[in-house]
Amino acid sequence: MNPSEQQSVISESNVERAEQSDVLPSDPQDSTRQRVFDSKRAIDLDIKSKVSTVQRIVESLEINNNDKPEVGALREEGSPEEIINKSRSDFLRLIKPSIDDISRILITSGLEIKDVQSWLSRNQIALGVLISSKKVLETCATELTNKSSVENQKKLLVRLFRGSNRKKISDESNEVAAKITQLDASYQGQLAHVGEVEKAVQLILSQRQELAALAVEQLFFDVGLGRHQLQEAFASPEVKKTLNEDLITAKITPELNRLQEEGKITTSVAKEYLDLLRIQFAQGSRFNPDDPIEKKQAIKERTIRLTRLNEKSDDELIEITRRVSAGENEIPDSFYDNIIDLILREASKEQVEKLRDTIASGSGSALQARIGKIADEIIYQHPETQTTTGKNNNILDIHLLPIEDFKSLKGLERWQTVKRFAVSSAAIPIEILNNVEKTIIQRLYDEQLSPGGYESWDGTRAAIEMGDIGSPKALPLMLRHIEASGPGHTNNTVVHSMEQLLKESNPEELQQILESLPASKRKLLETLADENSYMSRFGRYHFRYGTCDLLQNGDRTIRQEQYTKLLEDAKIPAQELDDFYLLKGDREKLLAQIKKVAELSGEDKKKLIDDYFQELTANIYTENVGTLKIVDVLAGELGVPREDLLVRCVERYEEPPKNQIVRLIASPVDSDYGAFPASFSRHFFGSTDTYIEKLKAIYQTNFLQVSNFEREAYLDGLLLLKKKENGKDVFETLLDKYRGAKDDSKRIRRIFQLLATLDGLGEYAFVSPDQDKEKNFNDEIADLQKEYSQTQDKAERKRIKNKIDTLTVNLQNLTGLRGIEDEMTQRVVEVACRRLALPAEYQAKIEAKLEEILKSGLLDIVSTLAGNYEAKNQPEVKKLLTNITAHIIGGDFEQWRYSHERSEQQLLGLTNEQKELWQQAQEPVTVQVELAEDERGRRSDELKAAQEIIQNVKGHIRDSQPNFDFSSERAHLLALRISQLTEKIKLSPSEEEKRQLAQEKRALHAEERLIRGIIEIENDTPDSFSRDKVLAQAKELHEKITELKLPLAGLDLEQIAKIFTVGEIKSVTAYESDDPMTLLKVGVEPQETCQSWRSGGFNECLLAYVADSNKKVLNVADENGRIVARSIVKLTKQREENDMESKTQRRTLLVEKPYSLLQDAEVYRAFVRALLMKAQGLDAAITFGKGFDEETLEVFEEEARAVGYGMDERKLDIFIPQSMNAYEYSDTLGGKISSFNRYRPLEANTFEKLKT
C-alpha cells in the first residue's frame, strides 16, 4: 500500500477533529483547559506535518522502473561519476539534518540516481551490442577455420594451385581474431566501468536508506519532545491550581460539610482551613535550611494555625489533610508531575507504536526491520540504561520502569482529578488513561502487595496507593490477595482501601467491575460496601481482622448474611446475632441457631448442620476433653456414628501425640474400641472391607480389650501413618502380615511405637527383612527335605525333620510381623545410639529394655532435647543429656544422681541420716476436695486459674524486661504514640525511615493490645467471665506476645485451655519425686512451660532438675493420677540480708512457684503439708518468693502453725550451689542462672520452726 494513501496516525489522536474548532466543545469558557488543548493540538499538528514528510521520504526510496523515460529521451547532465560525486558531496554536507533537510536531499539525489540509472541502462544496452558483435565475429572465425581445414585436406598439387585462396582465408581469420580481441577488451573495460558505477549507486541507495531511518528516528525523537512540551503545559501552575480546586471539591468539601453538620467545626474554620490548605498545596509544609527567613516563618505560622484548627475539630482535619497528602515533606503540587509523567509516557508509547506501523508498512523489509528496532529503542531503551534507584527519563513503557519509581509514587489520590482534567481538555484519550491506571494497579499488586503476604511494609503502602488511585479495577486484585493470605496488618489496610473504593469510585465503573466478577465475589464486595450489612455491623473488630476473615471465607460469609437476616427477623438478640454471624461463642448455642435457621429457611436441617461441621467442631482443644462433647451432640443430630464425625475433625486433635483427646477416643465409654480405627482407615487409607474386618479382629484381641495404653499407642500409630506418604502401604503390609497369632497385635503396637521413635529421632523409615534371608531359609529347607527323602535312617530322619520344623518356624517369623519387628528394633537401636552418642555396648541394653523405654517415651524426649541443644550450640548440655540417658538405660540413675562429683557439695551440711531422708520419698499426702457446685462457683475457680496464669505471663515478661509497664496509663500513652507515628510515616521523605517507623508502630501496637488484654482478664469477674471469652482473649494475647518475641509468656498463655479440663476432682495427692522420667516431664505436666522438652524456650536448664542431687519435683495429682499442680523444690541454704559472714546461715527448701490447673485451697493444702513433712525431717525452713495471693498464704500459714512453723515476710539471701548442668532455671530468682556458688537476694515468704 502506498504510504501516501494511508490514513495519518495523527488523525487517530483526534487532531483532525480538533482542527474543526478552536475551542473545546465541553467547556469553552475554561481557559486553562483551552490552553492545554491548544498546546496538544499544536504539538499534534507539528507531528502530523512531519509524519507526512517522513512518509514522502520513505516513498522516495522506491525508484519505480515504470517511471523511467525511454533511453533515447534521457537527459545528459555529465558523466555518472560526476553525478555520483555530486550526491556524495551533498550527503557529506549534511550535519544534524532535520526531517526537511533529509526530504530535500533525498528528492534531489533521487533524480540524480535516476540519471545514473539511465546511463547504466544505456551502457547495459551497449554491452549487449558488444556481446552480439563478438558472437558474430566468433561465428565468422569458426567458418574461416572450417574453410582453412577443408583447403588443407586437398591434394598437394591442388593446394599449390590454390595458395592465394588459402592466404586470403588466413588473412581474414587473423583480421577477425584481432577484432574479437579488440571487442573483448572494449567489453571488459566498459563492464568494469558499469560495475563501479553500480557499486557506487548501491552505496548511495544505502546512504539514502540510512537518511530515511534517521528521519524516522528524528520523528520519534520529536514525539518525545512533544511529550515534554505537553508535560510543561499540563503541569503549569495554572493547571495545578485548577486540579487542586477539583480535588477540594471532590475530597475535601464533602468532609468539611460533614464536620460542620456534626458541629465539630464552624463555617469560618472551614474557610480558613481551605485557604491555608491551598497555600500548602503550592508551597508545602516543610522548609529547607537555606530558605529565606520570611518563607520559614510563613510555613511555621501556617503549621501552627493548621494544628490549632485541627484541635478544634477533635483531630478530624488532620485526617482530611492526610487524605490529600498535604502534610508530606514534598510540595503537594509536585505529586501531579509524576502522575502526568506516567500518562504522557504511555501516550507517547502508543503514538510511537502507531507511527512505526504506519511508516514501516510502506517500506521494504530491511527498512521495516530498522524502523522496528528504532521504535523499540525509543520505547524500551537499552537494558543498560535502566536504573534501579530512580526514574529513567527515557523509557516510555511504564511496565519497564524500576519498581522504585512506583514505590515513590505519592499523592495518588490526585489521579482521578488528573484523569477528569485530561479527558475534559481532550489532551489524552480515555483509553490511554485507563491503560496507565490498570498498569499502576497491576504493578503495585504484582510487585509489592502480593509478594508481601498479609504482613509487609511494601504491601501496606501498595494497598494504600491502590485505594488512593480511586479505581475499582483494584478491587478484584485486593480480594484475591485477602483470599490467598488472610488476616494481617497489611490486609487490614487492604480492607480499608477496598471500603474506600466501594464508597468513592465512579458508580458506572464500579458497576462494570462488579458485573465482570463471578456472582459470589460480586455479592461479597456488595456486602462489604453495604453499611447495613452484618459484615459492617459485626466484622470490623480488631482493626478489620474480622473483615479479613469474612472476605477470605467468601461463600460462607454470603450465606451468613442471609441466615443472620432470618434470625434477626425472628427477633434473636443482637449479641446472639453477633455470635452466630462470626461463628463464635458456645458451640451448642451455635448449633441451636443453625437449627433455627433451618426451621426459618425451610432447608434440610441435617444438610445445614453438616455444612457447618467444621465451624461447629472448631473449638475442640487437645487438652480439654470437654470440648469433644459437641461431637456426640452432632452425631445425634445427624444420625451418624460418632466415630465418623471424629474422623472428619481429626486435624483438631492429631497433634501433639498422646494428648487427652486421643486418649479418650482410644477408650470410648461404649467399649467399641475398633469403631473409630475402622472408620479412620476407611477414610484415610481407603481400606477395603477385608482390611476393615481384620482391623476389627485385632481390636477384639484381649491385648487391646484390656489396656488403655495399648489402644492409645495403636491410635497414635494410625495418626502417624496418616501423615506419611507410605502410610497406607505400611498399614496394609502390617494387616497382610497379621495371622492371628497370640503376639501379633502386640507386635503391631510395637512397630507403631518404633516408627514413632524413628520419626522423633528424625529418621522415619519402615524396614522389613531382606528378601535374601527368606530365600536362604527356603533353600536350606528344600535341601533338608531332599536329604530327608534320601535317607532311611529313622534317627537321622527325625533329626532332619526337627531341623526343618525349626527353620519353618523361623521362616514364618521372618516373613511375618516378628520379622518386621526385629528389623525395626535393630534400626531404632542403631539410630538411637548414633543420634545420642551412646557407646556401642548400649545397643544391647536398649534392646533388652526396649519395651520399657518405648512406653516411658524416653527416646522421644531425649532425641528432641538433643536436637534442640545442637541447634543452640550447647555441646556441654548435650553431653550431660547423653550421660543421664546412659544411666537411665543402665538402670543406675538413682545411684549416680546421689554420688556424682557435684553431689557432695549440693548436699553439704546434711548428716548421713538427713541425706537418706532427703533421698527417700516420704509418704504422699492426700486431701479431699470440694469443688463449687454451682455454675458461678465453677466460673470463679476457672477465672482464678486464668488470672494466675496471667500473673505467670507478667512474671516471665518482667524476667526479660524488668521495667515493663502493665498499667492502663502506659496503654493510653502507647495509643497516642501510635497515632503520632501514623502521621510521621505519612510525612517521612525516606523509605528506610518509613520502614523503621512502621516496625516501631507494629511493636507499640502489639504492646498496647497486650497490656489492654491483660488488664481485661485481670478485671474479669465470675459474672463477666466465660470460657469462650477468655480463650479468645488468650488467643489475641498470644499473637501479640509472638510479635514482641516473648516466647515464655506465649507458652504460658497456651495453657489457659487446660484450665477447663480439670473436671470433677474428689481428692488430690501431693508427692515428691526424683524419678528421671518425671523430672524430664516437669515442663509439660501439668502445663507447657519454658522447661518443656518439646518446645521450652529455656529447656537447656531442664537437666539441672534431673541431675542435681538437691532438687526434686513436688507434684499434686487428682484421684486418677493426673497432675494438676507441680513445683520444683531445691534444698539449699539461706541467710539474712547483708550477712556477709553467713552467721545466720541455715538450711532451707527453696520452693519455686507452682504451676497449677486448679486454684483451689485444698490443692495448696496438700502441697504445703508435703513440704512441711519434708522440712521437719531435714530441720529446714521453707522459702517462697513473692506472688501468692492472700488466700493461698492463709492456707500455708494455717498448715504451718499446726506443726509449729511460723511465717515471716522479709528479704533473704539464697545460696545457689554448683549445678551438674551449665544452667538452671528459677522463676523465684529471676529466670535462667549460669553463675553458681553465690548468694542471690530474694523478697521472700519464709516458714521456720518456732522456738519453744
The Cα–Cα gap between 39 and 178 comes to 78
- pLDDT per residue as tens digits for the range 861-897: 998 898 889 889 999 999 999 999 999 999 999 999 9
Which whole number is the average pLDDT over 649-654? 92
Domain-embedded: residue 1153: yes
| ∠ CA 864-868-869, rounded to 5° | 120
pLDDT score, position 7: 37
Give the model's pLDDT for residue 749. 93
Query: Are residues 706 and 821 both part of a single domain?
Result: yes
Q: How far apart are CA 829 and CA 666, in angstroms?
A: 28
Beta strands in 1181-1237 (DSSP E): 1181-1185, 1205-1216, 1224-1226, 1231-1233
H helices of 836-900, in order, are: 842-848, 850-856, 858-871, 875-890, 893-897
Same domain, 1077 and 978: no
Can you give the pLDDT at residue 1149? 96
According to the model, what pLDDT value does residue 897 have? 96
Give the pLDDT band of residue 1189 (cuts 50, 70, 90). confident
Whether residues 1173 and 1211 fall in one domain = yes
Region 317-321: what's the mean pLDDT? 85
Q: What is the pLDDT of residue 894?
A: 94
Better pLDDT: 158 or 1086: 1086
Question: Average pLDDT in the 129-138 region?
Answer: 86
Extract the C-alpha cell encoding 864: 528432641
Q: Which of 12-16, 211-215, 1129-1133 has the highest mean pLDDT?
A: 1129-1133
Residue 1252 has a pLDDT of 67
Helices (H) and strands (E) in the chain, counts: 57, 11
Residue 18: pLDDT above 60? no
Of 1017 and 879, the one with more pLDDT: 879
Between residues 102 and 1041, which one has the greater pLDDT?
A: 102
Please report the pLDDT score of residue 427 as a whole number.
Answer: 87
* 616 dihedral zone (left: phi>0; alpha: psi -120 to 50; beta): alpha
Domain-terminating residue out of 278, 309, 328: 328
Query: Would you say residue 607 lies in a domain?
Result: no
**What CATH number is associated with residue 1079?**
3.40.630
Q: Give the C-alpha separation, 1188 to 1159, whole Å.
A: 11
Distance of CA 791 to the CA centre of its chain: 77
DSSP 320-335: HHHHTTTTSSS-GGGH
**Does residue 361 contact residue 310 with C-beta atoms inside 8 Å?**
no
The domain boundary, picked from 1058, 1083, 1105, lies at 1058
Closest among 1015, 1009, 1017 to 942, alpha carbons compared: 1017
| Residue 108, pLDDT score | 76
Give the whole-angstrom CA distance, residue 1191 versus residue 1227: 21
Cell numbers that stand for 1143 in this block: 552467721
pLDDT at 94: 76
Least confident of 325-339, 415-429, 433-447, 996-1010: 996-1010
Mode of pairing for the β-strands spanning 1146-1151 and 1181-1185: parallel
Res 963: pLDDT = 75
Residue 387: what pLDDT? Answer: 40
Q: What span, in angstroms and rounded, lies between the C-alpha atoms of 1168 and 1197?
A: 9
Residue-level pLDDT at 1062 = 52
Tell whether 1050 and 1164 lie within a shared domain. Answer: no
pLDDT tens by residue, 286-296: 888 888 888 88
For residue 527, being part of any structural domain is answered with no
User: Which residues, 6+ apart, have CB-to-CB distance to 194 below 8 Å?
Assistant: 120, 123, 124, 127
pLDDT in tens, 555-575: 999 999 999 999 999 999 998
| Residues ≥6 apart with Cβ < 8 Å to 276 | 302, 305, 306, 309
CA 817: distance to chain centroid? 45
Considering the domain boundaries, does residue 225 fall inside one? no
| pLDDT tier, 1113 (very low <50, low <70, confident <90, very high otherwise) | very high
DSSP assignment of 57-76 equals HHHHT---GGGPPPGGG---
pLDDT interval class at 543 (50, 70, 90)? low
- Cβ(1134)–Cβ(1181) below 8 Å: yes
Query: Which pLDDT score, from 0 to 100, does residue 384 have?
Result: 43
| Cβ–Cβ < 8 Å for 885, 838 | yes
How far from the centroid of its chain's Cα atoms is residue 291's Cα? Answer: 46
Residue 938 has a pLDDT of 60
Predicted local distance difference test score (pLDDT) of residue 19: 41
Among residues 610, 418, 623, 578, the alpha carbon closest in space to that of 1034 is found at 623
pLDDT at site 778: 81
According to DSSP, residue 654 is labeled -
The mean pLDDT value for 62-91 works out to: 61
Closest by Cα among 423, 410, 408 to 334: 410
Choice between 673 and 1014, residue whose per-residue pLDDT is larger: 673
What per-residue confidence (pLDDT) applies to 965?
A: 82
Angle at 431 between CA 428 and CA 437, to 5 degrees: 90
**Distance separating alpha carbons of residues 1097 and 1077, to the nearest angstrom:** 20
Site of grid cell 464533602: 254
Domain with 660, as residue range(s), is: 654-766+816-890
- Kindly state the average pLDDT of the residues 1076-1098: 89
The grid coordinates of residue 447 equal 510487585
pLDDT of 1036:
67
Let me know whether 709 and 836 are in one domain. Answer: yes
- The better pLDDT of the pair 990, 704 is held by 704
Tell me, yes or no, whether 921 and 858 share the same domain.
Answer: no
pLDDT surpasses 50 at 11: no
Average pLDDT on 1086-1109 reads 90
Q: Dump pLDDT digits (tens) for 347-365.
A: 999 999 999 888 888 778 8
Same domain, 842 and 944: no
Torsional sign, CA 763, 766, 771, 777: positive
CB count in 10 Å sphere of residue 969: 9
Residue 739 sits in the same domain as residue 856? yes
pLDDT of residue 91: 76
Query: Among residues 1036, 1058, 1080, which one ends one of the domains?
Result: 1058
Do 1046 and 1167 belong to one domain?
Answer: no
Q: Are residues 738 and 689 in the same domain?
A: yes
Residues 1053 and 1106 in one domain: no
Question: Distance between CA 375 and CA 397 in Å, rounded?
Answer: 11
Q: What is the mean pLDDT of the chain?
A: 85
Residue type, 645: L
Q: Which residues contact 239 (CB under 8 A, 6 or more apart)?
A: 32, 36, 233, 336, 421
- Give per-residue pLDDT as tens, 746-805: 999 999 999 999 998 889 999 988 888 878 878 888 888 888 888 888 888 888 888 888
Dump strand ranges (E) for 897-986: 925-928
pLDDT of residue 207: 83
Residue 390 pLDDT > 60, yes or no? no
* Cα torsion angle, 352, 354, 358, 363, sign: positive
The more confident residue out of 748 and 152 is 748
Tell me the per-residue pLDDT of 458-517, one tens digit each, with 9 for 90 and over.
898 899 999 999 999 999 999 999 999 988 888 888 999 999 999 999 999 999 999 999
For range 1113-1125, the mean pLDDT: 90
Residue 1035 confidence (pLDDT):
67
Largest CA distance in the chain: 183
| 299 occurs within a structural domain | yes
Residue type, 962: P
Rounded Cα distance between 237 and 232, Å, is 10
Mean predicted confidence (pLDDT) in 689-694: 95
pLDDT confidence of residue 561: 95
For the record, the C-alpha cell of 1099 comes out as 529447656
Cell matching residue 310: 485541627
Q: Looking at the structure, tell me whether residues 898 and 984 fall in a common domain.
A: no
SS3 1132: strand
**CB count in 10 Å sphere of residue 183:** 20
C-beta neighbour count of 776 within 10 angstroms: 14
**Residue 424, number of CB atoms within 10 A of its CB:** 16
Is 1181 a domain residue?
Answer: yes
The whole-number average pLDDT for the span 205-212 is 84
Per-residue confidence (pLDDT) for residue 162, from 0 to 100: 60
Q: Which has more confidence, 179 or 648?
A: 648
Neighbours of 1122 (CB within 10 A): 15
More confident residue, 1094 or 593: 593
Confidence of residue 1032 (pLDDT cuts 50, 70, 90): low
Helix, strand or coil, per DSSP, at residue 841: coil
Whether residue 534 has pLDDT greater than 90: yes
pLDDT of residue 1060: 56
- Average pLDDT (1086-1098) is 86
Q: CB–CB of 38/229 below 8 Å?
A: no
The per-residue b/e assignment along 895-929, b for 16 or more CB within 10 angstroms, e otherwise, is ebbbebebbeebbeebeeebbebbeeeeeebebeb
**Whether the predicted pLDDT of 643 surpasses 90:** yes
Q: What nine digits make up the cell of 416? A: 482521578
- Predicted pLDDT at 77: 52
Q: What is the pLDDT of residues 1126-1177, one digit of tens each?
A: 999 999 999 998 888 888 899 999 999 888 887 778 888 999 999 999 999 8
What phi and psi, each to the nearest 5 degrees, are found at residue 802?
-60, -40
Q: Is the pTM of this model over 0.85?
A: no
For the chain, what is the domain count? 4
**Would you place residue 104 in the very low, low, confident or very high pLDDT band (cuts 50, 70, 90)?**
confident
Residue holding cell 588459402? 166
Residues β-bridged to residue 1111: 1130
Residue 1 DSSP label: -
- Could you give the CA distance from residue 54 to residue 362 in angstroms, rounded to a whole number? 11
> Per-residue pLDDT averaged across 812-840, rounded?
88
